[in-house]
Structure formats: C-alpha cells, structure tokens
Amino acid sequence: MNPFIQIHYPKAWSHIFDEIACNFAKSNYLPKASKSKFNDKDLKFFLKGIRELSEQLTTERKGPRIGKYRNYMNHPRFRSAYLLYFLPLQAAKFYSVLFENKDRLRSYVMARKKIRIVDYGAGPGSATLALFALLEHLDLINQVELELIWIDQNKKIMQDGVDILKAAFPSSKFTIQMHAIPPKSKSFKADLVLFGHILNETEGSPDRLVQWTLETLDQESIGSVHIEPASKQASQRLGHFRDLFVETGSVVSPCAHSSRCPVSMGREWCHFSIQSQAPGRWFKEVSKKLSSEKNWLKFSYVWLSNTKATEKTDGSEKSNSELAISDPIYSTQTRQYFVFTCRPEKPGKQVFDKKPLRIHRGSTLAVARDKDSKKIRRKTR
C-alpha cells in the first residue's frame, strides 16, 4: 500500500490561503494598503521578507537561531512572510497526514458532540486550519463543537491565525484559548494534540514534553500528531521522542510496529517525500520566485496513541508488514533493486529482480522471509 497517493484538497483551500490569508497580510502588514485584492505588486513588496525567512527556516541548524531570527515572529516582516508562504506549506503537510488517517478521524469525531484540540507551537494555526479544512471536506465541521487550545510564545501571530480561522470558517462552532506556555497537563484532557516543528525548534531531551503529552491526552483520545522537517537531525529527534513515548503508548502510523525505532540514530532516517501540489496561485508564485517550486511535500511524521499496542502492532517477529524507508535503489553489483525497510531494532532490506514501480518511500510491504536468509527477496511482476 502506498501512502498519500490520492490527497483531495477541499474546494475551500484556495479561498482560505489565496484570498483570506493573503488579503489579511496585505491589510495588516502593508503600509497604506489599498482596498483592492492581493496582487503582483503586493507580492513584490513582501517577497524580500519571504526570501529572508525562507533561508533561515530551510537551512539545517547546528544550534539555536541568533539575533533577529531568535524570535522571528516578533518582526512584522517575518510574520507577514509566514502567513503568505509557510502557513499554506505547513498546513498542506498536516492536511496530508490527517487525510491519510481520515477514517480514524471521522469515526472519532462522529461519536462525539465536543472535542478538545491542542495546537502546540500553533503560530498562526497551520495545523488547526488543516484540520478544519479536512472536517469541512468530510462534512463534519458543523457536526461537532471544537474547543481549541493554542500554545505559542508569540501572541501576535496566534491572533493573526484566529482572525484568519474565523474568516475562513464563519459558521463553525469553536472556542479558543491562547497560552504562551503549556498549561499544566493535570488541569485538562485533550482528544487530539498537534505538534508542528516543535522538536526542531527546541534543544535538549524531550522527556518532559513526552510526559506532558501522555498526561494531557484523554484516556480514549485519538492521539498526538507530530510533524517535523525531513532532515536527518529533525527526523532522528522525532524518532527519539517516539521511543520514549511508546514505553507507555504506541504508534498509530506510519510505523508497522511499536518497538524501538531502528533509524533514530545511525546513517538512515525516516522521512516522506510525497508528490503533491497544494492549490493556490500565490503559493505557487512565491515558490517559483524562490526557485523552489513545491511539487513535493517533504517532512517526517508520527501519529502516536497513549494506549499500549495490541498484539498485531507489538513489533514482534510475527509482524507481517514493514514500512519502506527509501525509494527503490539499483545495485550495480547484483543488478537488482532493493528498498530499505523498517523492522524492530534494525533496518531491513527487500530485494527485487526488477524495479518495483508501485513501491515508494512510505509504502507498506508484506514480509516474506527466506528460510535460509534474513534478507528478503521478492520477484516483481
């Protein structure tokens, strides 16, 4: 099974990010802005800030940001840049993961009249906007009352997000609380916690964040969704978080087991590159001007549950599936193709006589072991 092969963005996507978010940025951050809709001239004004912020956010860092980039959301130039480009980009990543697990989300929401959602590192609510867009796509946005708790150090960018959210979904029933620091976990319980680039923006061990998440999730919650950059450093930090979490909880996706992550250290790492073009004229225009046209979304992610794994997902040798953590690679020595796979404790490998056209990074593969070898060899049709 290949993930993310049919992502259907809702019709409202372009309206949210092309019109509401762009016009909001113009009216609030462009000096002497006219009442006309966002246009090419406006984009030219904001482009310098977008390019500068892009260089900071897309460069893998060896330490914390310094100078004006330490708290970049304090600068109006960077807040507007985030709204115009990184808001739709980050929302598209969350939408992809949520859409991939839409059946789980649908059944959970339909069984409840009210759900509480925490958006940790909310910024302008990228993850929340993606969730609302999916709920609207599933005709569920007006079927449930949503209680939102946003956590971010910058109140101004959160308020921008609240204004955009209200304009995008005027008929939805939701309340929102904004916090600069996480509320004490014992003071409330959440149905879903969304984390966006939290580990990439922090240093040190994630032990306390793991404990906070486990204590915050309701006993019957849908879990926590974590999205980080696709870089090796960010992915392996996420793998470490996952390993600490599954000592008490388990993995919903993408992993085929809940044992220790075999690529949380070492040469390999787990990330996704999915072919997807998020709708939106201005998002595409900015991508072209940055020489970074986004035909692919790249990220690392994991969906975790605070309940222990069942026998089918306990990571034992009886597991009958595994996750491809690479695209097919050709070996000049054996003249065969192989794919690195995720198995408990240590990465595995599946070997193919011909290039497997339907297998990509993130595909779920059946396990078929030879009697005399730990390697896996499969013939392709």
Strand partners, 303: 225, 253
Q: Is residue 104 part of a domain?
A: yes
The answer as to whether 122 is a domain residue is yes
CA nearest neighbour of 135 among 145, 125, 124: 145
Contact (CB, 8 A) for 253 and 98: no
**Helix/strand/coil for 184:** coil
Instruction: Show which of 309, 331, 361 is a domain's final residue.
Output: 309
Return d(Cα 119, Cα 193) in angstroms, integer: 6
Decide which of 309, 342, 367 is a domain's last residue: 309
CATH number where 202 lies: 3.40.50.150
Taking the chain (381 residues) in runs of 10, the rounded mean pLDDT of each run is: 71 93 96 91 95 79 50 90 95 95 95 96 97 96 95 96 97 95 88 95 89 94 95 92 94 88 84 79 90 76 87 50 85 90 82 85 72 42 35
227 and 362 belong to one structural domain? no
Are residues 359 and 244 located together in one domain of the fold? Answer: no
- For residue 345 the two structure tokens come to 């404790």
What is d(CA 137, CA 199) in angstroms, rounded to the nearest whole number?
Answer: 30
Which neighbouring-strand residues pair with 177? 149
Query: What residues make up the domain containing 371?
Result: 320-378
The last residue of a domain, from among 309, 331, 346: 309
C-alpha to C-alpha distances, 276 to 58, 186, 197, nearest whole angstrom:
19, 39, 20
Total tally of structural domains belonging to the chain: 2
- 260 with 365, same domain? no
Can you give the pLDDT at residue 297? Answer: 85
CB 239 within 8 A of CB 228: no
Task: Check residue 112 and give its pLDDT.
Answer: 94
Q: Within 10 A of 19 (CB to CB), how many other CB atoms are there?
A: 18
Quote the CA–CA distance of 217 and 238 in Å, as a whole number: 18
pLDDT of residue 97: 94
Percent of the chain clearing pLDDT 90 (strictly above): 58
CA distance 170 to 6: 28
Report the greatest alpha carbon distance in the chain: 75
Question: Which residue shows structure tokens 């993930």?
Answer: 3
Does 225 lie in the same domain as 126?
Answer: yes
Residues in contact with 251: Cβ distance below 8 Å, sequence separation at least 6, in sequence order: 242, 257, 258, 302, 303, 304, 305, 309, 313
Burial readout 181-219 (b: 16 or more C-beta within 10 A, e: otherwise): eeeeeeeeebbbbbbbbbbbeeeeebeebbebbbebbee
286 within a domain of the structure (yes/no): yes
Instruction: Please tell me the predicted confidence (pLDDT) of residue 64.
Output: 46
Centroid of chain to Cα 300:
7
In this structure, the dihedral spanned by the alpha carbons of residues 104, 105, 111 and 114, taken in order and rounded to 10 degrees, is: 150
Enumerate residues 6+ apart whose C-beta is below 8 A from 26: 33, 38, 42
User: Position 175: which residue type?
Assistant: T
CB–CB of 110/136 below 8 Å?
no
Instruction: Say whether 7 sits in a helix, a strand or coil.
Output: coil
Are residues 361 and 291 located together in one domain of the fold? no
> What is residue 149's predicted lDDT score, i.e. its pLDDT?
98
Query: What dihedral do alpha carbons 330, 341, 228, 240 form, nearest 10°?
Result: -130
Are 303 and 356 within one domain? no
Q: Are residues 54 and 181 in the same domain?
A: yes
Asked, for residue 7, whether it belongs to a domain, the answer is: no
Query: What is the pLDDT, as a whole number, of residue 116?
Result: 97
Please check whether residue 373 is in contact with residue 337, taking contact to mean a CB–CB distance below 8 angstroms: no
State whether 201 and 170 are in the same domain. yes
Whether residues 262 and 208 share a domain: the answer is: yes
Residue 203 falls inside a structural domain: yes
